[in-house]
Amino acid sequence: MRTRIKEVIEQGTGAALCSFSGWVRSVRSSKEVCFIVLNDGSTLDGIQVVAASSLPDFGNFCRMGTGTALTVTGALVASPASGQKWEIAAHSIEIIGASDDSYPLQKKRHTFEYLRTIAHLRPRTNTFGAVFRLRSRLAQAVHRFFSEQNFLYVHTPIITASDCEGAGELFRVSTLDAADPPVLDGQPDFSQDFFGRKTGLTVSGQLEGELFAQAFGDIYTFGPTFRAENSNTARHASEFWMIEPEMAFANLADDADLAEKFIRYLCRFALEECAEDMAFFDTHIENGLIERIRGVADADFVRMEYADAIERLQRSGVTFTYPVEWGLDLQTEHERYITEQIVGGPTFIINYPKDIKAFYMRQNDDGRTVAAMDLLVPKVGEIIGGSQREERLDRLELRMAEMGIAREPLWWYLDSRRWGSCPHAGFGLGFERLVMYLSGIENIRDVIPFPRTPRHCEF
Ligand code: 4AD
Ligand code: MG
């Protein structure tokens, strides 16, 4: 049985002989001894293996390439070298899979851009090891948080017939012959398609999540989300993961409270449970990261009216690329200015103009805004989007009519307002944006294992 390097580093000596398996990061040798740094992915640093020249095949070990897969049996001993507590005195070493000079991850530091072209190998680097360990632990933390809060986890569908956000960004799911589809009135006839209707990949699990909230009270979804939006930015992916809680008998303030508690929990979790990787990010990716995250874990998040945000942007005297005016959506440059310069920390912007938000948001009494909230954070901008939902059937139907949204395909959504409708609210947290925020990594392509972006779908 293979022992994880992380376990022996945490538990120290005790066991007699252990067997370790991993990949060689570096080899340094002299006539008498060969030092091998072995990494098995369980920790950042891996462990140093000391092979004495008395071992059979000693010469082969000295010539091993970076990237070789090895199994080492040996004893964990206190290391005389500085910077490491333990090392392995090898009793035997077996080369499992050789590697050579053509292995693309040799010692030198590579750029993020280059590493994206070898996304199949980059998990074997320190940076991506840290990113994907953090990502994995955070996913587990998300479930832990909601489980502690007694939320029900619901798997909403990935194939859907409704465009929740109404932005027309659905990837089509179809088995029709693209070259020669059946045609009706000059249009492809989707009634002959696999599902007998036009379908796509979900842009959000919210609408189905609302149905479950109206049965279980508090629920969340956490799953893949797809958007065919042609934005080639550092924060947009065509496939990403979203966490969407939904609470019955809750309003916008409750929604913001939950989001704040959730983000603070995740910050604390990263600092406490991923300390080694966070220290790496602090040193190599963003100096001061740990201080920043600690600040967020303890801070009260500011809540600012959209109208107030517009006024303060206008008063800032800064020339932005995009116009700032009541009624227009905030662009990343505005969002970052608010959270970085005006507030200096996480900020909820609340009560947006209804015309820039989705049909399902609850209409405020002023007749021109909806009970929406976006959480903005330094470096990333929008990390969460949420709202209180319109629970009044007549108001919802009116708004759908105004926006030209057909009622018939959403009959089930409207039904939820017909019987036992109640105030409810929820939000969506982009999981990649969270990982970016907590690691300091600036491009979304570098926090998702195999990124999908416009014109790019390798692997
Ligand atoms: O603001 P959005 O579009 O909100 C919704 O989808 C709601 N249905 C959520 C809800 O109320 N249940 O998306 C929510 C979050 C954004 O704040 C952002 O973090 C992330 O999802 N997001 C993306 N992340 C990566 N790439 C994209 N293309 C993203 N689009 C949205
Ligand atoms: Mg949004």
Asked whether residue 267 falls in the same domain as residue 370, the answer is yes
Residue 452 forms part of a structural domain:
no
Q: How far apart are CA 220 and CA 99, in angstroms?
A: 45
Q: Is the CB of 200 under 6 A from ligand 1?
A: no
Residue 67 forms part of a structural domain:
yes
Asked whether residue 406 falls in the same domain as residue 294, the answer is yes
pLDDT of residue 267: 98
Average pLDDT over residues 410-431: 98
Q: How far apart are CA 437 and CA 285, in angstroms?
A: 12
Q: How far apart are CA 203 and CA 205, in angstroms?
A: 7
Range of the domain at 16: 5-97
**What is the percent of the chain where pLDDT is above 70?**
99
Query: pLDDT tens-digit profile of 69-120?
Result: 999 999 989 888 888 888 999 999 999 999 999 999 987 789 999 999 999 9
Average pLDDT over residues 290-311: 95
Residue with the smallest CA separation from ligand 1 atom 21 is: 430
The one-letter amino acid code at 286 reads: E
Asked whether residue 440 falls in the same domain as residue 313, the answer is yes
Q: Is the CB of 426 under 6 A from ligand 1?
A: yes
Q: Ligand 2 being an ion, which residues bring their Cβ within 5 A of it? A: 385
Query: pLDDT tens-digit profile of 166-223?
Result: 777 899 999 999 999 999 999 999 999 999 999 999 999 999 999 999 999 999 999 9
Paired residues of 292 in beta bridges: none
- Centre of ligand 2 to C-alpha 242, Å, is 12
Asked whether residue 274 falls in the same domain as residue 137, the answer is yes
Average pLDDT over residues 294-298: 91
Asked whether residue 143 falls in the same domain as residue 70, the answer is no
pLDDT of residue 231: 86
pLDDT of residue 107: 74
User: For 343, which DSSP code?
Assistant: I
Residue with the smallest CA separation from ligand 1 atom 19 is: 430
Residue 23 backbone dihedrals phi, psi, to 5 degrees: -120, 140
- Centre of ligand 2 to C-alpha 428, Å, is 8
Residue 455 forms part of a structural domain:
no
Edge-to-edge strand ranges of the sheet holding 347-353: 152-153, 218-226, 239-248, 424-430, 381-388, 369-377, 347-353, 302-305
Cα atoms found within 13 Å of the Cα of residue 442, Cβ hemisphere only: 8
- Centre of ligand 1 to C-alpha 430, Å, is 6
Q: Is the CB of 210 under 6 A from ligand 1?
A: no
Of residues 168 and 356, which shows the higher confidence score? 356
Indicate which ligand has the atom closest to the C-alpha of 244. Answer: 1
pLDDT of residue 9: 85
- Centre of ligand 2 to C-alpha 424, Å, is 18
Residue with the smallest CA separation from ligand 1 atom 30 is: 236
- Candidates 242, 362, 434, 452: which one to mutate for ligand 1, based on the most atoms within 8 Å of Cβ? 242
Indicate which ligand has the atom closest to the C-alpha of 210. Answer: 1
pLDDT of residue 15: 59
Asked whether residue 12 falls in the same domain as residue 132, the answer is no
Asked whether residue 331 falls in the same domain as residue 405, the answer is yes
Cα atoms found within 13 Å of the Cα of residue 93, Cβ hemisphere only: 31
Residue 266 forms part of a structural domain:
yes
Crossing angle of helices 126-148 and 431-439, rounded to 10°: 120
pTM summary value = 0.96
pLDDT of residue 85: 85
Atom of ligand 1 nearest to the CA of 375: 17
Asked whether residue 130 falls in the same domain as residue 263, the answer is yes
pLDDT of residue 47: 94
Indicate the residue among 81, 97, 113 that finishes a domain: 97
Average pLDDT over residues 289-313: 95
Asked whether residue 52 falls in the same domain as residue 130, the answer is no
Residue 189 forms part of a structural domain:
no
- CB atoms near residue 43 (< 10 Å): 20
Query: How is residue 122 written in tokens?
Result: 């980059």
* Three state DSSP letters for 73-128: EEEEEECCCCCCCEEEEEEEEEEEECCCCCCCCCCCCCCHHHHHHCCCCHHHCHHH
Residue 271 forms part of a structural domain:
yes
- Centre of ligand 2 to C-alpha 384, Å, is 7
- CB atoms near residue 91 (< 10 Å): 15
Average pLDDT over residues 355-367: 97
Residue 158 forms part of a structural domain:
yes
Indicate the residue among 79, 97, 115 that finishes a domain: 97
Residue with the smallest CA separation from ligand 1 atom 24 is: 430
Asked whether residue 248 falls in the same domain as residue 346, the answer is yes
CATH number at residue 263: 3.30.930.10
Query: pLDDT tens-digit profile of 54-76?
Result: 999 899 999 999 999 999 999 98
The whole-chain average pLDDT of the chain stands at 95
Asked whether residue 254 falls in the same domain as residue 367, the answer is yes
Asked whether residue 250 falls in the same domain as residue 303, the answer is yes
Number of domains, the chain:
2
CATH number at residue 23: 2.40.50.140
pLDDT of residue 163: 81
379 confidence band (pLDDT: 50, 70, 90): confident
Residue 184 forms part of a structural domain:
no
